[in-house]
Structure 1
């Protein structure tokens, strides 16, 4: 979902990249709980997948904040960040996140991801209307 409209909510989050990478090395099964198959496939093509995964994790947390909820309100895999060509990442919600977005009147999303060697950050705007 993407688009313009009235701001419903705004979220921001940052993730320590080395910490996330270490957690995924210790518990590889966590990747399936945190990331969609598409996100994992995209990251697997990169020389160093940790910054990309950390930015996506930050976006999932920022999405929760944009909708005014915390951990447990949705599954992490309900939020999917996709790259379509060279454009910006597109945020898609399903499951409990999709139901919550619909109840809030969210019709589109804007997302920005960034990272350094050590920190990944994301900003997510939930939008309603045309």
Structure 2
């Protein structure tokens, strides 16, 4: 199962300007926020590409973000910088029900847009 998402980076930045930290705390885990924060400021490209990854994974499940929360899908990186997904809560249960063994993701962004693809392997 495959999912893809693209988002304009300024959508995340504008949501932060309107809603503040409350917006980020609803979407991202503390580890994701820590990774995306440099010199006291958030890197909105990094936040946007993680949002796109969460959307791509949800689309690959075939459900969208229904029945679980944004924070149930966490984007992490290994020591070489390779991104991967860590599932929590209802998303983890859904993966178990669908017999998903591994989730592969690919992330990219430029100055304007962020894109992510997800492949759920059974």
Give me the TM-score of the superposition, normalised by structure 1.
0.87
- The 2-side partners of 1:90 and 1:70 are apart by 19
Gaps of 5+ in 2: none
What SS does structure 1 have at the residue aligned with 2:62? Answer: coil
Task: Please give the per-residue CA displacement for 1:22-56, whole angstroms capped at 9, x wherever unaligned.
Answer: 11121121100000110000001376510000000
2:43 is matched with which residue: 42, 45, 49? 49
Matched, 1:58 2:52: yes
- The 2-side partners of 1:71 and 1:108 are apart by 19
Aligned-residue RMSD, C-alpha: 1.3
Aligned pair count reads 120
2:110 is matched with which residue: 107, 112, 116? 116
Identify which range, 19-28 or 93-102, moves more after superposition: 19-28
Aligned to 2:25: 32
Q: Which contiguous aligned blocks of 4+ residues in structure 1 show a shift greater than 3 angstroms? A: none
Q: Which has the higher contact order (CA 8 A, sep 6+)?
A: 1
Matched, 1:72 2:93: no
Gaps of 5+ in 1: 1-8
- The 2-side partners of 1:34 and 1:67 are apart by 18
1:80 CA drift (Å): 0.5
Aligned to 2:93: 99
What SS does structure 2 have at the residue aligned with 1:11? Answer: strand
